[in-house]
Amino acid sequence: MSDEPVELNAAELRQKLNLETGQLAWSEVQRHFARGVVVVVGPQLDLIDVAAAFAEDDRRRIEQWIQQEQLVRAHDEHALKWTEQEPDFWSVVVAPWVIVQEITPH
């Protein structure tokens, strides 16, 4: 067995990230927020698309989402709102980032 990282094609990467996605409560996200590693995905984006862009270091797409205010690093206003509302999130880790998307009730 080799210590070399295994290269995944785009479909394999998306599948891997999808399998690693989970639901977290704010109380579980809070400790990651305290470390400054939470990235918030807007409702118009697909969480797996964003995670794949981070995993592939696709800076062009990430910067585009940031400029369009669809992707932002979590800040104090998020934490205050989340503490009041205690939402649940879909989340996935692409180290060092914890990428979250608030689950909106239907």
pLDDT score at 104: 80
> Measured between alpha carbons, how far is 11 from 26 in angstroms, rounded to an integer?
30
pTM: 0.88
The residue that leads in pLDDT, 106 or 65, is 65
User: Structural domain tally of the chain?
Assistant: 1
Do the Cβ atoms of 41 and 70 come closer than 8 Å? yes
Grade residue 2 by pLDDT with cuts at 50, 70 and 90. very low
Looking at every residue in the chain, the average pLDDT score rounds to: 92
The answer to whether residue 4 scores a pLDDT higher than 90 is no
Domain membership of residue 4 (yes or no) is no
As a whole number, mean pLDDT of residues 54-76 equals 96
Angle between helices 59-67 and 47-55 (to 10 degrees): 130
Strands (DSSP E) contained in the chain are: 22-25, 38-41, 71-73, 88-94, 97-102
Residue 3 lies in a domain: no
Report, as an integer, the average pLDDT of 5-29. Answer: 88
Specify if 76 maps to a domain.
Answer: yes
Q: What is the residue range of 27's domain?
A: 10-102
1 within domain boundaries: no
User: Is 96 part of any domain?
Assistant: yes
